[in-house]
Structure 1
Amino acid sequence: MREGPQSRDFVVLDTLAEQDGCSQQDLAERLGINRTIMVRLIDRLEEAGHVTRTRNPANRRSYVLTLTAAGREARDAMRQAVSDRDARVTAALTPDERRRLDELLGKMLPEPEQPAVQSTEYLVTQAHHRLRRHGDALLGPAGLRTRHFGPLSALELLAPCPQQELARYLAITEPSAAQVVDELVQAGLVARGQDPHDRRRYALELTALGRERLTSVRAAMESIAAEVLTILGGGPERELRALLLKLISPRA
């Protein structure tokens, strides 16, 4: 699930409306946004006239952010768009289920007692980012990323299979599948061979190294699952899993 084009802009403006004058670093930490991404985001908002950024008098190496009048107007205009997207994203859930999902996701973010943002779309995305960063840190020494788990696991089950079949299985676009497959081929983890059913197409298979590295990827995924279990506890973790599965299940 990806954030809408205004989602991060909105949550930054909305948070500044409640906590004006905070530092750029504090805002990034509170919202769980990578600092580099936050710098680019604030650059864009400053250029649009929605925030001002001045040196922090208490720490000249940091900036203090202030919401402008134009920023408040933009925040109000974005609120309905964010609300509409949330309604579409959570259409499969009852109101009580949506509230419970937001509550559980909020616990996955910094300051779980008082989530800064009430957008389900944003909470899902930020929880995903947090867990992905954890997995990436574990897999980085092996030259892998969390995003490689799905394709490697799928190919263990499906191979040999064409790239189009892999994309359908993972429910991603063919260009996205092509990008991640290229990464895995370059790393020597996946090989492109002839499709035995159609010689005009490639068939993808795991290499011996790919099968070996899949063990490391699975260990990282288990570590992520353990982190979620530690944060939420067994019952809430199962509840969150069920709600997310309901969220992404195809609707009739």
Structure 2
Amino acid sequence: MTPQERHADGDFGWHLGVLLSAYHGSVTPLLGELPHATRGYQILSTVVHGDQPTQAALAAHLSIDRTVMTYLIDDLVKAGLVERQLNPADRRARKIVVTPLGASTLAELEQRVRKAEESLLGGLDERQRAAFRDLLRRVACGLRDIEPQADPCDAAEHALTELP
């Protein structure tokens, strides 16, 4: 029995692991010099498409430890992709804002990533790919109760409406 036959019916974790591994293997090389590769991409995308009022909220939204987020943001700032600005609603807090270079970099990277995603889902026709993306979004958004202060659905909905 081949691994495909053995896992065809039910090892959900294995299926997710294979997909995630293939995603990272396909996308990471496309990100070039972006600091922290896929993590940096997720942060940059969330800064552009989300509305996280503080660096702490951004960390919570992405499930990244706040102290680790500080170092990740530092590297994105050094690369000129984002900057920290005072949050007008709370001057004690900082909001992470994309720079013009960050916006243009993300736009280019999103095109590359989208092509890689389409290739990964190449075994599905266009309708099935759309359904798969929708179902994946629904499942991910259904998990938002795990972290009530973060709302992944808002970012996912916004990102999906921005795709070509």
Query: Common fold, TM-score beyond 0.5?
Result: yes
Tell whether 2:30 aligns with 1:146.
Answer: no
* Structure 2 match to 1:250: 143
Counterpart in 1 of 2:5?
114
Contact 1:152 1:206 in 2 (8 A): yes
Give the Å deviation of 1:127: 0.6
CA contact 2:34–2:40 (8 Å) conserved in 1 = no
Letter in 1 for 2:108: S
Query: How far apart are residue 159 of structure 1 and its match?
Result: 6.3
Equivalent residue in structure 2 for 1:215, among 107, 121, 125 = 107
Instruction: Quickly say closer, same or farther: Cα 1:212–1:245, change in 2 above 3 A.
Output: closer
Contact conserved, 1:228 with 1:237, CA < 8 A, in 2? no
Shift of 1:231: 2.6
Partner Cα distance (1:115, 1:169) in 2: 36
- Gaps in structure 1 of 5+ consecutive residues: 1-17, 20-110
Pair 250,208 (structure 1): closer, same or farther in 2 beyond 3 Å: same
Q: Secondary structure of 2:143's partner?
A: coil
Q: Describe how 1:125-164 pairs up with structure 2 within 5 A.
A: 125-140=17-32, 142-144=33-35, 145-158=37-50, 161-164=53-56
When residues 176 and 238 of structure 1 are mapped into structure 2, their CA distance, relative to the original with a 3 A threshold, is farther
What is the CA–CA distance in structure 2 between the aligned matches of 1:125 and 1:206, rounded to whole Å? 31
Identity of aligned residues (%): 24
Checking the alignment, whether the CA contact within 8 Å between 1:167 and 1:174 is kept in structure 2 is yes
For 1:242 and 1:227, how far apart are their aligned partners in 2? 17
Q: 1:133 to 1:251 in 2, by over 3 A?
A: closer
Cα pair distance change 1:184/1:197, threshold 3 Å: same
Structure 1 residues 115-159: Cα deviation after superposition (integer angstroms, max 9, x where no partner): 55852123212211211221111112x335233333222222456
2:89 alignment counterpart: 197
Structure 2: segments with no counterpart, 5+ residues: 146-164
1:233 is matched with: 125
Give how far 1:176 is off.
5.0
- Mapped partners of 1:223, 1:192: distance in 2: 31
Equivalent position SS for 1:231: coil
Amino acid at match of 2:40: H
**Alignment CA distance shift 1:198-1:218 (3 Å):** same
Structure number with greater Rg is 1
The whole-number CA distance in structure 2 between the counterparts of 1:115 and 1:206 is 46
- 1:86-137: per-residue Cα shift (whole Å, max 9, x none)? xxxxxxxxxxxxxxxxxxxxxxxxx7x5355852123212211211221111
| Displacement of 1:251 | 7.6
Amino acid at match of 2:41: F
3-state DSSP of counterpart to 2:123: helix
